[in-house]
Structure 1
């Protein structure tokens, strides 16, 4: 009551009353405590043992604001990759590309090529004729340099790669304007990309020799954030891309929560001894008894699966579920993807055939779950569901594009190769605080990146350091706030206050050592001392002996607990409390009284508690 209901309440009330009436209407104000006079009281901040938030979107990273700094860091100096294939992509200006190519050793022979066709079938006669009319005379087809004036008879059933030769140059010879013109032309014809083919041997022409051996090494340049292999374009990374609270960055399947209701195959298949035709899947029912339209869809999908897996007719539909092969089960439950299926609708006038795809039992039930407004139907579906990690984002909360942006640490603890030291934002947030601090000790950045990231990295390292000093090295930044204990929440807030650098404030804490491992207690005491040394007053309600002995001034209330106490029985230094004969706490601190360790422990019963992950 003294710490929170009197000192904290009065300190906050006085601070709020010093503000304008307009500002006070937005701030909650505690009632005036029942006290005659309090002097020398500064504005107060309470850090209590309460859960940080019941909001499932709140994490350790968002509470400490480290997540915000990480978003800025990855947006500004992260290396984007393709969300589909993982290939690193980078946008460059024409001037940067020209500067890079111009830096080749003098005498190096190279060609500027524009990618036109990437692994596609066709003869491309019209394309070659059009290029010839534009004045181009050479192209590289499937790795071989050919003349466009030749009769190029490509096999239309084969996949081909065609790259137009814009110009052939030698480093250090010729004007820079010619190189710039070739680069601009290649970017225009290559839809923002070009290839630099550098001859591997002096005197050779970039391409292939007569034996089919490559005589050049290729380097890709792009003026767009686009993957040249997949043909997918991306927006330049922004901080919003790395926010699971923003539609731009969140996983759309779980809405940025990282968890969602998903159907469990074992609970869907209620009667594995039956076939799909007779009702193996309870929520689907017997296929023979469902509506004609739905029945013909399932029959068409089953026929397509039988054709793909070379099964007997009606094997998928009429074989008991427990006897179906694993691939057949997967395709029925999760769908056949983009595979085109021809469905046959039989009616009196004949057969109507139409094409489409098969989504699968689980996606259709999920669609029904999200669309229905009937609470009974939702409860029925939830019996076969479990709230589990999102299978799309694997619990990371972010979409594939955000997960493809990486940063590389220079700390060899994470691996000897660059690929092993490279981490995405979800991977960094999945580390423990201790591992994350080691990751950000030294980041691989160029000179420009170092200038951009210096202030952000300083904040990230400082805040991670504060968490370490509060004994929270085992937590991960993506740890959900509702799963934190009261003691963990309090120490996280304490770390945030240390990092804020406030001066002249009264901090009131409620047993910050509770739930803390004894080996980390000294780190906590050092953190409290840091708050004090910054020019603040730290008031702690505590029963831990080590914490009491570290205090500058101790106030002991008694003589009993709760309503049987409330009187100051001792105050002063630890030594003064120890020598006070009225203080029960003092007698235990001095060793006069103690709690003996029992010689015999209670017998262990036969009952057991099993904890499953």
Structure 2
């Protein structure tokens, strides 16, 4: 364990850490400095910083409370570490997206909403009332039609009903109406319907009664009918129970089912503004609060430069401070009414940073998990300034990061490796960024080498034309997209890259397959094997070896641990705070019951298989072509370090996208000349892993494929054959075609922020 010079006294000392893949790691982390942890994806960076240092700090803080309070807090397990010393209060700012609460917006997440409501309640004309009268989360301010959501919901009857089935067979595709349960009995025993007749044979009147009856008094119900003797149709009952009670009271599985059955429309009364008529009519200088929150951060900040009122001067000062903070982290293109749940992981992380910039606390340890995710090189300088600002206030900054610009400004660097998973978990280097470049480690070597542009770009065999591109902030430009090559679509965050590549291009040319970063369905109940379509084959192999039914080897079926129901953890809801999960004591986080775990395949249980990485799975199932092929594509898309049983809700946006790409590539029906659009696929990847995935692109393009990749990573741009640069800025300042052509020509353009960044990356090492 190397000794370090700390700017603030005794360092944070970690002795013998064995969390996840860490190999008895010991180190000293200096306080009051900016320390960056590097290493290939899966090397153990997050295990050391997030799962050991940050986790132990949180556990010790909880232990400092009284017994009464501790009894009501989740009991966090101690990390696998021999000893730790010098810990301080720790704030973890990770890339977890905000929860799916439709009542949370950028304004509420940054506490701007309360300040804006205060301004309008004091000087708005005509006044709608006190501050709550301007809140869509308060009955006095919300639109009565949509109850402050901005959208109205309805049931998609075609999805809900299976007309081929009769009542006894369960015609409602919603588990709360399955045969035998309480809600099924309400129509099965109402005495109104022939239970043996398929719904497709119902008369219009019978179907209307079955779906939309409202408190119909029953003359002769079956004895099993609930005692109310009033009948509601299926849709009526769903509206009353599942729309009015709110999603927070539903289980995750019911919410997931409901999402498949519900259609949403903009509220016809408030037209999506969420507020009632009185709040919408209250104006300040000719604009309503709806107008203010509908503006981009940069536009609202410009408006407030020319607006002042001594009656609300302190509130306006607070609004300007938060807007300036959002601008400083590159989020000037966001509107304040944007739902928090729609933000990317990188955007959500930067919003969280804003909440801590004005804190009066010092001597805090701030932990950041890849804060550069989703940022253009031009924006990273502002991020770096924020990290330094937090450090200079007397705090300790720990950053898990791959980006050369962030590594270059570190006071101290810890490089883990040398590989991923079982091949990693060791400290390869501790010291300065310059020392890292000279160290000879994988990270150091790649940092020391300037990027080399593709010397001779491949020639396109043809092109497709996108005309009048106008999605979101795009300004209506025309551009040709070459086929049979790698095209990088570049520009600052919010410039319109994704709008062009993932909306306009496939809309005008549907033969392009978009593999984006949208949330994958399944969450904690799904994993890589499920997405790749080989989970059933794995269960079948265990079934054949043990004689047990395949459902015993599913944590969503008979094999589930009875205590955690196959989740592997117990979740504690803490009201307005984030939920906290702790490993299940019954199964130890393995998710399976004893019967499932007792069956072995070549000495491995089903839990052992789910904890293994693709290379091990491919070796175990070498005789199963489908499984082996899927595992090969996982490795080739840069996911070789990922345990195949990792829950989807724990994967980053980049990991999910690469997993979807692996699924697409492993499909035996895939056309070798297919056209694929990827949205920032290198998010979370070490430069060495980026080279792996660009090599994959090269191999597939040589086989006839076309790739269009939205990217900030200059390693990908340098390897591209063609670049489409959109900008020059974000939001209303972007959306224009800045450049199209080979990377070498882009690097010579001084009017492009991407060109400047590419030129800097090719001149010399950072």
CA distance in structure 2 between the aligned counterparts of 1:48 and 1:54, rounded to whole angstroms: 17
CA contact (8 A) 2:155 2:235 kept: no
Does residue 569 in structure 1 map to residue 428 in structure 2?
Answer: yes
Q: Report the TM-score, using the length of structure 2 for normalisation.
A: 0.41
CA distance in structure 2 between the aligned counterparts of 1:509 and 1:516, rounded to whole angstroms: 14
Does residue 257 in structure 1 map to residue 149 in structure 2?
Answer: yes
Does residue 438 in structure 1 map to residue 302 in structure 2?
Answer: yes
Alignment match, 2:347: 488
Aligned pairs for 1:418-457 within 5 A: 422-445=286-309, 450=310, 452-457=311-316
CA distance in structure 2 between the aligned counterparts of 1:374 and 1:407, rounded to whole angstroms: 41
Alignment match, 1:16: 62
Aligned pairs for 1:62-141 within 5 A: 62-80=108-126
Shift of 1:517: 2.1
Aligned pairs for 1:144-543 within 5 A: 237-261=129-153, 372-373=236-237, 386-408=263-285, 422-445=286-309, 450=310, 452-543=311-402
CA distance in structure 2 between the aligned counterparts of 1:565 and 1:384, rounded to whole angstroms: 45
Shift of 1:608: 3.2
Shift of 1:439: 2.0
CA contact (8 A) 2:294 2:336 kept: yes
Shift of 1:246: 1.0
Aligned with residue 447 of structure 2, among 571, 579, 589: 589
Q: Report the TM-score, using the length of structure 1 for normalisation.
A: 0.51
Shift of 1:506: 0.7
Shift of 1:400: 0.5
Instruction: Provide, for residues 263-310 of structure 1, a one-character-per-residue CA deviation record: whole Å limited to 9, x for no partner.
Output: 99xxxxxxxxxxxxxxxxxxxx999xx99xxxxxxxxxxxxxxxxxxx
CA contact (8 A) 1:14 1:43 kept: no
Structure 1 SS opposite 2:81:
coil
Cα-Cα RMSD: 3.6
Instruction: Provide, for residues 230-271 of structure 1, a one-character-per-residue CA deviation record: whole Å limited to 9, x for no partner.
Output: xxxxxx61111011111111011111100113799xxxxxxx
* Larger deviation, residues 464-473 vs 596-605: 596-605
Shift of 1:597: 3.3
Instruction: Provide, for residues 86-123 of structure 1, a one-character-per-residue CA deviation record: whole Å limited to 9, x for no partner.
Output: xxxxxxxxxxxxxxxxxxxxxxxxxxxxxxxxxxxxxx
Structure 1 SS opposite 2:373:
coil
1:383/1:488 Cα in 2 relative to 1: closer, same or farther (>3 Å)?
Answer: closer
Alignment match, 2:99: 53
CA contact (8 A) 1:501 1:534 kept: no
CA distance in structure 1 between the aligned counterparts of 2:76 and 2:372, rounded to whole angstroms: 27
Instruction: Provide, for residues 559-597 of structure 1, a one-character-per-residue CA deviation record: whole Å limited to 9, x for no partner.
Output: 11232111111111111111213x1111122228x5663
Shift of 1:56: 0.8
Shift of 1:601: 4.2
CA distance in structure 1 between the aligned counterparts of 2:235 and 2:280, rounded to whole angstroms: 29
CA distance in structure 2 between the aligned counterparts of 1:80 and 1:369, rounded to whole angstroms: 44
1:498/1:369 Cα in 2 relative to 1: closer, same or farther (>3 Å)?
Answer: farther
Structure 2 SS opposite 1:73:
helix
Alignment match, 1:106: none
Aligned with residue 40 of structure 1, among 70, 83, 86: 86
Instruction: Provide, for residues 473-496 of structure 1, a one-character-per-residue CA deviation record: whole Å limited to 9, x for no partner.
Output: 011111011211111100100111
* Larger deviation, residues 10-19 vs 600-609: 600-609
CA distance in structure 2 between the aligned counterparts of 1:464 and 1:50, rounded to whole angstroms: 22
Shift of 1:532: 0.9
- Number of positions where the alignment pairs a residue of Structure 1 with one of Structure 2: 341
* Larger deviation, residues 466-475 vs 33-42: 33-42
Structure 2 SS opposite 1:440:
helix
Shift of 1:556: 0.5
CA distance in structure 2 between the aligned counterparts of 1:2 and 1:470, rounded to whole angstroms: 26
Structure 2 SS opposite 1:508:
strand
1:286/1:5 Cα in 2 relative to 1: closer, same or farther (>3 Å)?
Answer: closer
Structure 1 SS opposite 2:84:
coil
Structure 1 unaligned regions, length at least 5: 82-235, 265-284, 292-367, 409-421
Structure 1 SS opposite 2:358:
helix
CA distance in structure 2 between the aligned counterparts of 1:565 and 1:519, rounded to whole angstroms: 32
CA distance in structure 2 between the aligned counterparts of 1:22 and 1:473, rounded to whole angstroms: 44
Instruction: Provide, for residues 157-206 of structure 1, a one-character-per-residue CA deviation record: whole Å limited to 9, x for no partner.
Output: xxxxxxxxxxxxxxxxxxxxxxxxxxxxxxxxxxxxxxxxxxxxxxxxxx
Alignment match, 1:272: none
Shift of 1:598: 6.4
1:384/1:472 Cα in 2 relative to 1: closer, same or farther (>3 Å)?
Answer: closer
CA distance in structure 1 between the aligned counterparts of 2:407 and 2:261, rounded to whole angstroms: 53
Structure 2 unaligned regions, length at least 5: 1-46, 157-202, 210-231, 244-258, 461-482, 485-508, 515-766
CA distance in structure 2 between the aligned counterparts of 1:254 and 1:587, rounded to whole angstroms: 57
1:542/1:601 Cα in 2 relative to 1: closer, same or farther (>3 Å)?
Answer: farther
CA distance in structure 2 between the aligned counterparts of 1:535 and 1:396, rounded to whole angstroms: 42
Task: Give the number of the structure whose alpha-carbon radius of gyration is greater.
Answer: 1
1:591/1:239 Cα in 2 relative to 1: closer, same or farther (>3 Å)?
Answer: same
Shift of 1:440: 2.2
CA distance in structure 1 between the aligned counterparts of 2:380 and 2:425, rounded to whole angstroms: 28
Structure 1 SS opposite 2:79:
coil
CA distance in structure 2 between the aligned counterparts of 1:602 and 1:489, rounded to whole angstroms: 39
Structure 2 SS opposite 1:373:
helix
1:599/1:26 Cα in 2 relative to 1: closer, same or farther (>3 Å)?
Answer: farther
1:552/1:394 Cα in 2 relative to 1: closer, same or farther (>3 Å)?
Answer: same
CA distance in structure 2 between the aligned counterparts of 1:245 and 1:45, rounded to whole angstroms: 28
CA distance in structure 2 between the aligned counterparts of 1:610 and 1:561, rounded to whole angstroms: 30
1:427/1:522 Cα in 2 relative to 1: closer, same or farther (>3 Å)?
Answer: same
Shift of 1:531: 1.0
CA distance in structure 1 between the aligned counterparts of 2:277 and 2:447, rounded to whole angstroms: 58
Instruction: Provide, for residues 494-525 of structure 1, a one-character-per-residue CA deviation record: whole Å limited to 9, x for no partner.
Output: 11111233211111111111111222111111
Shift of 1:401: 0.3
CA distance in structure 2 between the aligned counterparts of 1:13 and 1:610, rounded to whole angstroms: 45
Alignment match, 1:2: 48
CA distance in structure 2 between the aligned counterparts of 1:518 and 1:40, rounded to whole angstroms: 34
Shift of 1:391: 1.4
